[in-house]
Chains A and B, each alone.
Chain A
Amino acid sequence: MAAPTTKAPAAVPDTAKAKARKEKVRAASLTAASGVLGFAVWVGLSKSGIDGFPGPVPVAERAWELMREGTLFSDLFASLRRVLLGFVLGVALAVPVGFAMGWYPVVRGLFDPWLQFFRMIPPLAIIPLAVVLMGIDETPKVFVIFLASFLSSVVSTYQGVISVDKTLINAARVLGAGDRTLFTDVVVPASTPFILVGMRIGLGASWATVVAAELIAAQGGLGYRMQQAQLYYELPTIFVSLIVIGLVGLAMDRLLLLAERRLTGWQERR
């Protein structure tokens, strides 16, 4: 008796599911095609006779060697350590400063001109100064990354605070919320999406900065390895480093994107 009635409505979600699956297969095959195409371009370039331009095979061989020696991992570890340290410190300072700037007009007035000014200086341009003042060990590199992540996170945090919907603030106030509740229960959650976007930009900036910083002054790390390889004309090593840098950056971005989806799934449009 129940069989015919349950069958009919079940058909609708089935076609919807099939459609979604089809869509997924299409996207996956496009990604695969893009990979094959890129690979073909690489092979083509290596065969075109550009002096020393390595093809995929020597690069893969070099990657295997570097992994066996362990240099790839120690370089990766050195670079990641700098990035994470600088990034965490930068965000940890940016969030309270950003909130203070958004909440207190006086703080905003005092900080904003300097923020705008320093934003115009690429963090890399600070390296020469940082090396002179802080020496050539870890401090100047971490400092430059700290600066890069701080500047991008602080701006988006305070943008988030000042763009909190006025009606939400009023709604909380008429329900009896004082300044403290307003801040913790309305302003903080409402600006979370902005903070996370800032963190994503900050992480990207940090990762780009660390590699460049290592090119200038370091005793290890992916950037340092490339710089050494340049001296000895070892193009496969440069390629391995570049690929690893790209992949790790991509992985970090995806991770933050995932966190963003988790934390801000309540947003109206996605």
Chain B
Amino acid sequence: MTKISFRDVTHRFEAFTALDHVSLDIADGEFVTVVGPSGCGKSTLLNLAAGLLEPGAGTVEVDGRQVAGPGPERGVIFQQYALFPWMSTRKNVEFGLKIAGVPKRERRAKAEHYLDLVGLADFADALPKTLSGGMKQRCAIARAYAVDPSVLLMDEPFGALDALTRVQLQDGLLDTWTRERRTVMFITHDVDEAVYLAGRVIVMAARPGRVHRVIDVDLPYPRTEEIRLSAEFDELRRQVWRAVYHQPPAPTPEGTPR
């Protein structure tokens, strides 16, 4: 069953074509990563699914309904964490629940549950400024989980973190995903990360932004260190690497962006 569907989507920012006739289907419960050079429109694609942008042409559907603005059934996780700095960790996680009108006690219990899940139970009353980057992103993930979205849209969420923290958060994310099977669309510029997480890697090309190749990752879940260090993984990584870094020039001439 198709969960997210991009149909012939074109989107321009002034003279710059971020997306040029892009079509892409993401199945229910699928974990898809999107990689590509900067300017390939991967974040634009995500923002369209989130409803933070409207497509210039074409349609974007989630659950068979055209996307009209953002909504809590599509959780978004930003690279810059986007925690509300004046709220404690707990209040941040409760924010979406408060909007949904969940009563106070239930809100608290849910926030506690998700803070516990991401290992922040001891930091429930801490302000974001006192947290490390990895902790901030874990809090943002807990905040997204709390409203129980059926789709998770992640825009280079681990891009600003150190390699060690990144691996920890990747495993944490996969762990939750294997249990709850939400549809995940994950943007990254890290080829390793793209292959390790995904069932399918979408490689995009720039100028104009378009889908360049789709590479299926036939590796079993749960993904372990063994898989990460296996020959099959290496081969897939090579394929994706070549697709990202050795792209043919654009089929149609296009002015230099920006």
- Which residues of A are in contact with B by a Cβ distance under 8 Å? 165, 167-168, 170-178, 181, 185-186, 189-190, 192, 264, 266-268
Contact = CB atoms under 8 A, between A and B. Distances in A.
B127 to A, nearest CB: 5
Nearest to B95: A175
Contacts of A186: 84
A189 B86 contact: yes
B84 to A, nearest CB: 6
B117 to A, nearest CB: 18
Contact of B78 (A170, A176, A177, A178): A170
B100 interface: yes
B143 A175 contact: yes
Interface string B63-74: 000000111101
A20 to B, nearest CB: 19
* Interface residues on chain B, size class: 20 to 34
Contacts of B78: 167, 170-171
A82 to B, nearest CB: 34
Nearest to A192: B86
Nearest to B96: A175
A175 to B, nearest CB: 4
B82 A173 contact: no
Chain A to chain B: the 10 pairs with minimum beta-carbon distance, closest first: A175-B96, A171-B82, A176-B72, A174-B76, A266-B86, A174-B70, A167-B82, A173-B70, A176-B99, A189-B86
Most chain A CB within 10 A, of B70, B72, B78, is at: B70
A174 B72 CA distance: 6
Most chain A CB within 10 A, of B52, B74, B84, B86, is at: B86
Given A266-B127, A267-B129, A175 B99 contact: yes
B75 interface: yes
Contacts of B147: 175-176
B115 interface: no
A178 B83 CA distance: 18
B80 interface: yes
Given A176-B96, A176-B99, A181-B99, A171 B76 contact: yes
